[in-house]
Amino acid sequence: MKTSWYNIKSIFLFNPTERVWQLPFFLALGIGFVLSVGAYYERIDLGLIAVIGVMSFLYIPNTPMYHRMAVIMCCSFGISLSFYSDF
């Protein structure tokens, strides 16, 4: 019983992070914009595919700009490759 209570309690535990508060805000803004455009053109399926690309924004490390750009490029390429190759 204690282990199950510990597992449930750990789900709702807030861990400290070094990310700035703007990251989740702009991620939600980007996802909302992409899905809104998909809904406007009545192509939610394409909006959901575009959300996969927006999710690469989550992989931004706290490093210099040139390194961030390379990481985002690699993550976007990997996400696109996995989508098109049907793994």
Dihedral of the alpha carbons of 11, 14, 19, 20, in degrees to the nearest 10: 130
Share of the chain above pLDDT 70, in %: 94
Q: What is the average per-residue pLDDT within 74-82?
A: 80
Full-model pTM: 0.61
CB 79 within 8 A of CB 54: no
Which residues neighbour 48 within 8 Å (Cβ) at sequence distance 6 or greater? 35, 38
Q: What is the DSSP letter of 21?
A: T
In this prediction, residue 20 carries a pLDDT of: 79
CB 23 within 8 A of CB 60: yes
